[in-house]
Amino acid sequence: MPRLRGPAPNLPQGDAAWPILNEGLFGDQARGGHDRAPRPDAVPVDWRAVFGREAPRTLEIGFNRGRFLRDLAARWPDHDHVGIEVRRSYAWRVAELMARDGGPRNVRLVWADAKLVVPATFGPDGLAHVFVNFPDPWWKRRHEKRRLVDLDFARTLADRVAPGGRIWIKSDVLAIADEIAEALAAVPSLGPPVPFDVGDLPLTHRERACLVTGLPISRYAVTRGA
């Protein structure tokens, strides 16, 4: 798989822009990132039209270099996979790589803040799986509100995941993993956290680094009840 290096990425243009959905959601492919919610007339997204088929959908929040997302697409070809990443350079670079490689065609990207995009973009029960891989810890007290999975967002995710669907968490910041588990535990429709093994899902970029340095990693999933 190509490495993410080199000059600043270019936004793919014309037909090559197929991997990234910002134009449809925000009215311009070059609009996105923090503080921007999708246009009301663009949501909820018709995912069947986007992917050209009806298949169970997954969401990865914070796909960064896109390695996990693209490996997952190869491992689960019968699912469609959506990734949201708030940093433009990563979103555009992964889009560029996908346009160059012509795939995977069962992946689409959004450059945006997941907290603003997920509630509007996916209807209730619209996701089979959600992956939150090594979310930023936002250590400083004044940055705490930027943490990804607070109680509000836990409720949003629980509502968007279909019955029997899963929310998977990986983190090397054990306090953050515990904090997320606490938020998920407060949502009555979600079951208890169940640990999973390193081989159950593709590795992420951060996970590889942790495995090399021997940092402990918390991995668990919660399942939505009926």
Ligand X SMILES: C[S@@+](CC[C@H](N)C(=O)[O-])C[C@H]1O[C@@H](n2cnc3c(N)ncnc32)[C@H](O)[C@@H]1O
- Quick check: 201 binds ligand X (CB under 6 A)? no
Shortest separation between residue 128's beta carbon and ligand X, angstroms: 19
- Residues 107-136 binding ligand X (CB under 6 A) are 113-115, 133-136
Neighbour count for residue 162 (Cβ, 10 Å) = 15
Taking the C-alpha atoms of residue 208 and residue 223, their distance in angstroms, rounded to an integer, is 26
Site residue total, ligand X (CB under 6 A): 20
Shortest separation between residue 60's beta carbon and ligand X, angstroms: 7
- Quick check: 154 binds ligand X (CB under 6 A)? no
Which segments of 76-198 does DSSP mark as H helices, in order?
A: 88-101, 114-121, 151-160, 174-185
- Quick check: 147 binds ligand X (CB under 6 A)? no
- Quick check: 62 binds ligand X (CB under 6 A)? yes
Q: Which is nearer to ligand X, 21 or 148 (CB)?
A: 148
Neighbour count for residue 9 (Cβ, 10 Å) = 17
Q: Return the active site residues.
A: 136
Shortest separation between residue 131's beta carbon and ligand X, angstroms: 8
Q: Which is nearer to ligand X, 90 or 168 (CB)?
A: 90
- Quick check: 156 binds ligand X (CB under 6 A)? no
Concatenated DSSP letters of 176-196:
HHHHHHHHHHTSTTB---EE-
Taking the C-alpha atoms of residue 219 and residue 134, their distance in angstroms, rounded to an integer, is 10
Taking the C-alpha atoms of residue 116 and residue 152, their distance in angstroms, rounded to an integer, is 12
Q: Which is nearer to ligand X, 76 or 90 (CB)?
A: 90
Taking the C-alpha atoms of residue 201 and residue 174, their distance in angstroms, rounded to an integer, is 19
- Quick check: 26 binds ligand X (CB under 6 A)? no
Nearest CA among 155, 147, 32, 160 for reference residue 88: 32
Terminal alpha carbon distance of the chain: 38
Taking the C-alpha atoms of residue 73 and residue 84, their distance in angstroms, rounded to an integer, is 15
Q: Which is nearer to ligand X, 102 or 208 (CB)?
A: 208
Q: Which is nearer to ligand X, 59 or 190 (CB)?
A: 59
Contacting range for ligand X; rule: CB under 6 A; set: 11-19, 177-185, 189-197, 198-206 = 198-206
- Quick check: 157 binds ligand X (CB under 6 A)? no
Shortest separation between residue 58's beta carbon and ligand X, angstroms: 14
Sites of contact with ligand X (CB under 6 A): 61-62, 64, 84-87, 90, 113-115, 133-136, 148, 204-207
